[in-house]
Structure 1
Amino acid sequence: MTDVQKWVPDILGAPFEQLTLLLGTDAEGDVVATLVRSRPRAAALAPLVDVDVLYVHGWSDYFFQTDLARFWNRLGARFYALDLRKYGRSMRQGQTPGYVASLDEYDADIAAALDAMRARSRGRARRSPRRLVLMGHSTGGLTLSLWAARHPGEAAAVVLNSPWLELQTGAIGRQAIAPLVAARARFDPLGTNPVVDLGFYTRAQRELGTLPDSPEGWRPERGFPTHPGWLAAVMKGHSTVAAGLDIDCPVLVLLSKGSTSPIQWSDAMTTTDSVLVVDDIARTATRLGNRVTVIRVPDAIHDVVLSGAEPRAHALAALRAWLIEGALAPIEARV
């Protein structure tokens, strides 16, 4: 590793840039995360001109949602997306894709990202401090929920796009299998779990035309292989959420109105969540804090912002209203 890293052009093209964040080493070699940014132009009069957004992707994923970045930039916010260690831009040869033994390991990734985001503002004491909005999808939503609860006062708002807050078996099923998963994680953390992703979620996005081609290995059709150590880490996160968090800022949860079983392909998968049981997620979301808003989006898929045109527009309009009319007042309205 080198000690000095610089912003360089990103694979998404202008105006996106990326910065490699050095995180040290583990048994598989050098560990890095990658921060991608897109900055607004002529944002002085925009309502969120003092806002930085940090987006975190879900399982078997990386950041490529350029329309989402443009949405935030149009509101005046600086948009940043983090490819976590061993995902996407941050994957290195010989690493186990996506693997961590605890979701707390991502504290280092997030800390490095925030440090880089704030670097340009250092020494400008006369300026008002910038507000941080966290946005996470699926497993990224779980990770950021836990992080926000452990770091009170850091975020001004949290936006969760179909967060994976509960196992698909529901709480009773999770509690029943948790001891077995934990035991296997202790003795065989990198063992192989059964394949549960049959590729239908990827097919739904391709049929909608919202999934671009990915660099090889970054987003496999059926997702990454899963391992007992990783699953135990996720289930520990689920248990922590179920016990109740105390996120101290407004939280918005965007979800589809319906779910479809991922066992067999159906056209309904292009208008429903075929990954999570959204009713369970909606109920569990009430455990995140005291100011939680849940918006159910008709015809949305698991990644709401990769849905068809109408549900995608619905979701972004709802997000804009929630931000500007409630969670984040325009800068000129603050006292």
Structure 2
Amino acid sequence: MGEWHPDILGGGFEQQTLPLGDDVDGEVVATVVRLRPHPGARLFGELRDTDVLYVHGWSDYFFQTDLARFFTDRGARFYALDLRKYGRSLRSDLAPGYVASLDVYDADIAAALDAMATVREGRRLVLFGHSTGGLTLTLWAARHPGVADALILNSPWLELQLGPLGRQALAPLVNARARFDPLGTHPVVDLGFYTRAQRDLGTLPDSPEGWRPAQGFPTHPGWLAAIIAGHARVASGLDVGCPTLVLLSARSTVALSWSDAMRETDSVLVVDDIARAATRIARTVTISRVEGALHDVFLSAPEARDAAYAALRDGMRGLA
């Protein structure tokens, strides 16, 4: 087992580096962060037999301390995974966030679960994914039935912003380019409006340089082909094998130019398409639409953020 060290978040957060060997870019690692419950919650909290594993979205890393404490205040052990080439796991000689298949993350998640010792200790496992992390965990849970006891998805990227027809039309072009130029460049389409909305609301802390760029990481054909393949798997129907809670904003805003509505809507995904896609991933799916929420519902303005936590509390009771 690896060693735990103090994390940049302070306040009882610790991290452990998880060696993963080499991938197409070279040597890679993942990083797991933990926050243990305080003694009273560990003994008497309703989630004292539960471990939570959180996975971030695209161009992101774990920094949501309030979310961690939501679970540890109820007795759960909380862990978050910075996947290879993200955040704490990013190395200067690697293409940020790049993978050619989302199945690659099986190794990252397996290493995190080993560090958590959840299975060995017979504890319940709740998977919690945001955006691209939501897609990653959805696919992982479907490939590993019976491991997770519940799945929570915060604005999961389950469908391309062009919708099913647009995805099907684009896929052959993306796949063709991915075969001969997987690390080629794409035009920048993120204009930084989502980051601006969070900064305006004061919900985005300062990040170490390069960990969360305002306009996202550069994207590449090989990576986009992997995302589209994941969306196609969702569209064809799958079963994550456990009750699932999906949290979404009530509305989306097209991010072609700045508008004040971006402070209270999802300016990243088309939430109606995500809600439809979510019905194809499990036998039991609860979808909660949060009025006034951003793409990360827990980084919204106070009223919407409170509503998101209330939905999470209710959802956890139902999942239990």
Q: Residue 223 of structure 1 aligns to a residue in which SS? A: coil
Structure 2 unaligned blocks of 5 or more? none
Please list, as runs of the form range in 1=range in 2, the aligned pairs for 1:16-31 lying within 5 A after superposition: 16-31=13-28
* C-alpha displacement of 1:248: 1.3
Moved over 2 A (4+): 26-29
Alignment pair present for 1:312 and 2:305: yes
**Cα distance in 1 for residues equivalent to 2:150 and 2:130:** 15
Deviation, structure 1 residue 28: 2.8
In the TM superposition, residue 27 of structure 1 has moved relative to its aligned partner by 4.2
Q: Is 1:140 the equivalent of 2:137?
A: no
Q: Hey, what's the Cα distance between the residues in 2 that align with 1:264 and 1:173?
A: 22
Tell whether the 8 Å contact from 2:15 to 2:34 is kept in structure 1 after alignment. yes
TM-score, with normalisation over the residues of structure 2?
0.98
Alignment of 1:188-207 (within 5 A): 188-207=181-200
Distance 1:26 1:246 in 2: 29
2-structure distance, mates of 1:76, 1:283: 33
Aligned position for 2:101: 102
Q: Establish whether residue 283 from structure 1 lines up as the match of residue 283 from structure 2.
A: no
Equivalent in the alignment of 2:49 = 50
Separation in 2, partners of 1:221, 1:25:
29
SS of residue paired to 1:22: strand
Is the counterpart of residue 257 in structure 1 residue 250 in structure 2? Answer: yes
Q: Distance in 1 between matches of 2:272 and 2:240?
A: 21
Between the aligned partners of 2:202 and 2:315, the Cα distance in structure 1 is: 27
Mapped to 2, the partners of 1:209 and 1:292 lie a distance apart of 32
What residue in structure 1 maps to residue 207 of structure 2? Answer: 214
| 1:214 maps to amino acid | S
Task: Name the SS for the 2:2 alignment partner.
Answer: coil
Q: How far did residue 259 of structure 1 move?
A: 0.3
Amino acid at match of 2:99: V
Instruction: Work out the percentage of aligned pairs sharing the same amino acid.
Output: 71
User: Counterpart of 2:69 in structure 1: which amino acid?
Assistant: R
**Aligned partners of 2:315, 2:213: CA distance in 1, in Å?**
34
Opposite residue 114 of structure 1, the aligned amino acid is L
1:7 counterpart residue number: 4
Q: Is the CA contact 2:59–2:211 (under 8 Å) kept in the aligned structure 1?
A: yes
Equivalent position of 2:225 in the other structure: 232
Question: How many residues are treated as equivalent by the alignment?
Answer: 318
* Structure 1 partner of 2:319: 327
Deviations 1:137-177 (A, max 9, x none): 00000000000011110011000000000000000000001
What RMSD over aligned residues (CA atoms) do the two structures have, in Å? 1.1
Q: CA deviation at 1:322?
A: 1.6
Match of residue 33, structure 1, among 23, 30, 39: 30
Q: Which residue does 1:112 correspond to in 2?
A: 111
Aligned pair partner of 1:295 in 288, 291, 299 = 288
What amino acid does structure 1 have at the position aligned with 2:170?
A: I
Query: Are residues 1:163 and 2:162 paired?
Result: no
Mean Cα displacement is larger for which, 25-34 or 270-279? 25-34
2:2/2:115 contact within 8 Å kept: no
